[in-house]
């Protein structure tokens, strides 16, 4: 039996389904969760989407208000679906539910995925988890409506950086299908790439004021602290785009952004041409893709910076 057949059967059998995703959820995480939720609701399932902290920038997505930030301890579900997450740790608070619920499905597109579900639909060639959701919904014979399409298109758009990376001809075919289902292309673009908040803009300003260019112009480095975060009143995910400013500088191969969180530093790495940043992330129990990855290292700041720089230097060419 194919994975898609198993998934269809598991969904058919389940009455109540819990959808979870990774912490610090991005457009693909929130989009795939809500897109899949709308699909399962069409199949008349009882569905909860559990995301403890989610950035309000996604409030334009249909169903955003249905997201549960907490669940009662005694809640129970027949099936748990983990989206856009390469491993159990990545699920953070969602992990205990994934471990508690008897039947589990993983749908993802990370090359580092550990196939930790009972059924795992992991297509690492796909642009986004949202793109894989289209395939899964098709296998379940759910027709994609405007609400589903809006959520799905959002994840495809954000995970490809506006249809730049991880794009296959299929990505455009699927995006075209979402357009046929009625999504408002301009409105989604504005919501995810243009619209911002004062707090987000101030955090970016702080990070840019600290930008360092190292290793003969090949590495860009910056960081934000927990104090910055509190000072501006930032929400989870507000740092998302900062690392790209370093990557966009002429001559830079790798951009590093450190973010102080719970006494350690979350690292975001982006490369341009040849450094495989997923190798570095795997070494530190993180994950991601060839040109974009993330993981955590212990502080203090200088130590964290040295640890990451040392790993990058191993791959830098003269």
Contact segment (CB under 5 A) with Mn ion among 36-44, 73-81, 122-130, 246-254 equals 122-130
The Cα–Cα gap between 134 and 183 comes to 14
Return the one option of ligand 5GP, Mn ion, none that residue 221 interacts with (CB less than 5 to 8 A, by type).
none
The Cα–Cα gap between 160 and 49 comes to 24
Choice between 84 and 228, CB closer to Mn ion: 84
Choice between 104 and 158, CB closer to ligand 5GP: 158
Choice between 149 and 220, CB closer to Mn ion: 149
Nearest residue to ligand 5GP by CB is: 294
Choice between 38 and 289, CB closer to ligand 5GP: 289
Return the one option of ligand 5GP, Mn ion, none that residue 28 interacts with (CB less than 5 to 8 A, by type).
Mn ion
**Interhelix angle 129-139/146-159, nearest 10 degrees:** 150
Question: How far apart are CB 295 and ligand 5GP at their closest, in Å?
Answer: 5
Question: How far apart are CB 182 and Mn ion at their closest, in Å?
Answer: 23
Question: How far apart are CB 218 and Mn ion at their closest, in Å?
Answer: 27
Return the one option of Mn ion, ligand 5GP, none that residue 86 interacts with (CB less than 5 to 8 A, by type).
ligand 5GP
Applying CB under 6 A, the residues found at the interface with ligand 5GP are 86-87, 90, 112, 268, 286-289, 292-296
Backbone φ and ψ of 202, nearest 5°: -70, -35
Choice between 178 and 296, CB closer to ligand 5GP: 296
28 makes contact with Mn ion (CB under 5 A): yes
Return the one option of ligand 5GP, Mn ion, none that residue 27 interacts with (CB less than 5 to 8 A, by type).
none
Question: How far apart are CB 27 and Mn ion at their closest, in Å?
Answer: 8
Q: Scan residues 129-168 and list those touching Mn ion (CB under 5 A).
A: 129, 159
Return the one option of Mn ion, ligand 5GP, none that residue 160 interacts with (CB less than 5 to 8 A, by type).
none
Nearest residue to Mn ion by CB is: 28
- What is the 3 state secondary structure string of the chain? CCHHHHHHHHHHHCCEEEEEECCCCCHHHHHHHHHHHHHHHHCCCEEEEECCCCCHHHCCCCCHHHCECCCCCCCCCCEEEEECCCCCHHHHHHHHHHHHCCEEEEEECCCCCCCCCCEEEECCCCCCHHHHHHHHHHHCCCCCCHHHHHHHHHHHHHHCCCCCCCCCHHHHHHHHHHHHCCCCHHHHHHHHHHCCCHHHHHHHHHHHHCCEEECCCCEEEEEECHHHHHHHCCCCCCCCCHHHHHHCCCCCCEEEEEEEECCEEEEEEEECCCCCHHHHHHHCCCEECCCEEEEEEECCHHHHHHHHHHHHHCCCCC
Question: How far apart are CB 255 and ligand 5GP at their closest, in Å?
Answer: 10
87 makes contact with Mn ion (CB under 5 A): no
Question: How far apart are CB 102 and ligand 5GP at their closest, in Å?
Answer: 24
Contact positions toward Mn ion, by CB under 5 A? 28, 84, 129, 159
């Amino acid at each position: 039996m194919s994975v898609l057949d198993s998934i269809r059967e598991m969904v058919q059998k389940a009455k109540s389904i819990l959808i979870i995703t990774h912490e610090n959820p991005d457009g693909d995480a929130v989009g795939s969760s809500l897109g899949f939720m709308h699909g399962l609701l069409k199949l008349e399932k009882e569905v909860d989407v559990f995301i403890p902290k989610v950035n309000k920038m996604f409030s334009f997505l249909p169903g955003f208000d249905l997201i549960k930030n907490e669940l009662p301890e005694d809640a129970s579900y027949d099936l748990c679906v983990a989206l856009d997450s390469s491993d159990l740790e990545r699920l953070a608070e969602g992990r205990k539910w994934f471990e508690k619920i008897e039947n589990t499905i993983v749908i993802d597109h990370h090359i580092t995925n550990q196939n930790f579900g009972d059924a795992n639909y992991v297509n690492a060639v796909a642009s986004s988890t949202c793109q894989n959701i289209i395939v899964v919904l098709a296998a379940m014979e759910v027709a994609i409506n405007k609400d589903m399409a809006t959520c799905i298109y959002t994840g495809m758009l954000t995970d490809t950086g506006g249809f730049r990376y991880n794009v296959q001809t299929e990505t455009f075919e699927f995006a075209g299908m979402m357009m046929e289902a009625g999504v408002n292309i301009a409105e989604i673009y504005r919501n995810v790439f243009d619209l911002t908040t004062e707090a987000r803009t101030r955090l970016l300003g702080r990070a840019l004021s600290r930008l360092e260019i190292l290793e003969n112009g090949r590495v860009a480095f910056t960081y934000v602290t927990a104090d910055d975060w509190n000072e501006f009143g930032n929400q989870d995910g507000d740092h998302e785009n900062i690392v790209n400013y370093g990557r966009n500088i002429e001559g830079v191969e790798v951009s590093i952004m450190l973010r102080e969180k719970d006494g350690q530093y979350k690292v975001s790495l982006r490369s341009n041409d040849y450094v495989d940043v997923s190798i570095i992330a795997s070494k530190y129990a993180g994950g991601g893709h060839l040109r974009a990855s993330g993981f955590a290292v212990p502080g203090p700041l200088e130590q964290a910076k040295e640890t990451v720089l040392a790993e990058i230097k191993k791959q830098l060419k003269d």
